Structure 1
Amino acid sequence: MNDDINVLALVKGKERYIFLFDDSQQADALRMLGRHAANPELSFSWYDAAVLGKKIRNEATSRERARFTIPQSSDIDE
């Protein structure tokens, strides 16, 4: 079990948006970005949601690739 928490933050003027989620909550985090973008009372835009959503998806893809990468003998320090 992985207890790591992902932190995603955005500063817009005086507003601070900080999203905390674990790997199993990736879909929930993406939905939350959309809910924030749809809220006209916030300065959080659809562009912000798209950029942060891309970061979430790219990070998840990187973790998956790293998980399945077999180290080469040249990668191991002797």
Structure 2
Amino acid sequence: MNDDINVLALVKGKERYIFLFDDSQQAEALRTLGRHAANPELSFSWYDAAVLGKKIRNESAARNRSRFSIPQSSDIDE
């Protein structure tokens, strides 16, 4: 089991947005970005949500690629 916690942060003026989530909570993290963007009381915009959402998806894809890119000893020609 992977106990890593993902940290995503945004600083806008005096406001700080910090999102903590594990890999199994990626969908909920994306929904949270949308809820924050829809809240008119926050300076968090839809652009912010799109940029951070893209970062979440890109990091997830990179982790998935790295899991499968390590050559096995049976893959190496001698």
Structure 2 length-normalised TM: 0.90
How far does residue 70 in structure 1 lie from its aligned partner after superposition? Answer: 2.4
- In structure 2, distance between residues paired with 1:43 and 1:31: 17
Measure, in 2, the Cα distance between the counterparts of 1:61 and 1:13. 30
CA distance in 1, matches of 2:27, 2:41: 23
What is the aligned residue count? 73
**Which residue of 1 is the match for residue 64 of structure 2?**
64
Identity %: 89
SS of 2:18's partner is strand
TM-score (ref. length: structure 1): 0.90
User: Unaligned 5+ residue runs, structure 2?
Assistant: 74-78
Deviation for aligned residue 1:2: 0.1
Counterpart of 1:20 in structure 2: which amino acid? L
Which ranges of structure 1 fall in alignment gaps of 5 or more residues? 74-78
1:34 maps onto 2:38 in alignment = no
CA distance in 1, matches of 2:72, 2:4: 26
Counterpart of 1:43, as a letter, is S
Q: CA deviation at 1:20?
A: 0.0
1:4 paired with 2:8, answer: no
Q: Which amino acid aligns with 1:57?
A: R
Which residue matches 1:76?
Answer: none
1:54 corresponds to: 54
